[in-house]
Structure 1
Amino acid sequence: MNYTIPAQTRIGHVHLKVADLDRALAFYCDLLGFSLITTYGKEAAFISAGGYHHHIGLNTWYSKDASPAPVRSVGLFHTAILYPTRRDLAIAFQRLIDAKYPITGASDHGVSEALYLNDPDRNGVELYWDRPKEQWPHKADGSLEMYTHPLDLQSLLGEL
């Protein structure tokens, strides 16, 4: 029997190994704007948007002062952070510009627009917003037409 996961299912949180908890908190809280919810001693922290118990867990249990994982290895490609509106993504982009924080890419995927960067431990991070579903492009057979085109960053900043 084929099973299909319920449509309301969501990925609730991601838990990242980091080398330096304070450095990770500076990135995720001070730069991206997440709120610190709680800590487990000096080894772990849980952060969120909007008071949820946690969207991101950060810990040094196995990684304190460790080097980043090699790029060409098995592991997490990136954590994707979904913003509610294009303007919210533009605000995040402006904060990155103001902080002189480098991005590694910026793409229009048809269904979404995304900024790519690395956190201080070289964990990939995608900041994105979804276009309304009725605007998603489709192929002739009705399936989604996702692509990777350059994102018009000036148009994004025009939201501000």
Structure 2
Amino acid sequence: MSNIPFAATTPISVSRVGLKARDANALASFYRDVVGLQELKRDGETITLGAGSRALLDIEADQAAKPDDPRSAGLFHNAFLLPSRADLGRWIKHAIDRRIPVDGASDHLVSEALYLTDPEGNGIEIYSDRAHDGWKWNGAQVEMATRQLDIGSIVSEVPDGDAGWQGAPENSIVGHVHLRVGDPAAAARWWHSQFGFDTVAEYGNSAVFLSSGGYHHHIGANSWQSPVAGRRDASLTGLAWVEMRSADAKAASTYEDPWGTVIRAVPGQPG
């Protein structure tokens, strides 16, 4: 079994995410079959999925919800972090065998990632990190880029005779959440003040990346589709909440960012 990824060893990290769905059963099937999450429980209208015993995603049924508006504040993507490069290779082979459509694939220097979209329009990233002691920093800024992904090199990490993709392995986590916001600078100020996050990368005025403990980012925030977006309409499908695990939290608490996105904080030690 691989170790827990570095992203989960920092003082604050993403614990899990809630999605609101018009068809929760169909969406849960997608996350089981395509992403490889396991169903952990059902509680009323909520389906909880995860990896091993770790809950990563709650899907809340709301048949009356309106389809998400990509121009509004909300979810850009949930990023599921696999423990090893070989795990990513197994998922790629699974995607090829199942002819799973992907929206993109990128080498970000700190990580290697593939992108897809679920049936209700929520963005997904599936990725693995390079060893964090090899990341390049320019002062407080981590070097990231968007380059062509070497699919063959990743797939070659899977040993001959390997059993292949058996679903998201234990110690898979939500490594980061990337949000649509109206103003990345305002998002950065909010995460600085409420969670003590550091800004570790900026793409002009249109995107900012923030983290705890020297990770490349636990939270991304961009206005690529949503410039000057106002408060999020709570009746839309898509992002319901983001839950952060905090070693400093004494009790569970709930916040709203400047666009009304619900951010929960729960006590918990790293790992």
Please confirm whether the aligned pair reaches a TM-score higher than 0.5, indicating the same fold. yes
| Aligned residue number for residue 91 of structure 2 | 92
- Structure 1, residues 116-139: CA drift from partner, whole Å, max 9, x if none? 101111100010111101221334
Task: Give the superposition deviation at 1:66.
Answer: 5.0
Q: What amino acid does structure 2 have at the position aligned with 1:11?
A: V
Q: Which runs of 5+ in 2 are unaligned?
A: 1-8, 159-271
Q: How does 1:39-78 map to 2 (within 5 A)?
A: 39-41=42-44, 43-52=45-54, 54-61=55-62, 64=63, 68-78=67-77
Contact 1:114 1:126 in 2 (8 A): yes
Aligned-pair Cα RMSD in Å: 1.9
What residue identity is the alignment partner of 1:143? Q
Determine whether 1:33 maps to 2:36. yes
Q: Which amino acid is the alignment partner of residue 24 of structure 1?
A: L
State the partner residue of 2:12. 9
Check whether the contact 2:112–2:129 (CA below 8 A) recurs between aligned residues.
yes
Distance in 1 (alpha carbons) for counterparts of 2:58 and 2:31: 11
Q: Could you say if the C-alpha distance between residues 51 and 78 of structure 1 is closer, same or farther in structure 2, counting changes exceeding 3 Å?
A: same
Partner of 2:131: 132
Identical counterparts, % of pairs:
38
**What is the deviation of 1:30?**
2.2
Q: Return the alpha-carbon distance in structure 1 between the equivalents of residues 92 and 65 of structure 2.
A: 29
- For residues 94 and 64 of structure 2, what CA distance do their matches in structure 1 show? 27
The unaligned stretches of length 5 or more in structure 1 are 1-5
Matched length: 150
Answer whether contact 1:34 1:49 (CA < 8 A) is retained: yes
The CA deviation at 1:71 is: 2.4
Note if contact 1:109-1:149 (Cα within 8 Å) is conserved in structure 2.
yes
Q: TM-score, normalised by structure 2?
A: 0.52
What TM-score do the two structures reach when normalised by structure 1? 0.85
SS in 2 for 1:28: helix
Q: Which residue of 2 aligns with 1:149?
A: 147
Given that 1:107 and 1:148 are in contact with CA atoms closer than 8 Å, whether structure 2 keeps it comes out as: yes
Runs of 4+ residues deviating >2 angstroms: 65-68, 70-73
Q: CA deviation at 1:46?
A: 0.4
Equivalent in the alignment of 1:113: 112
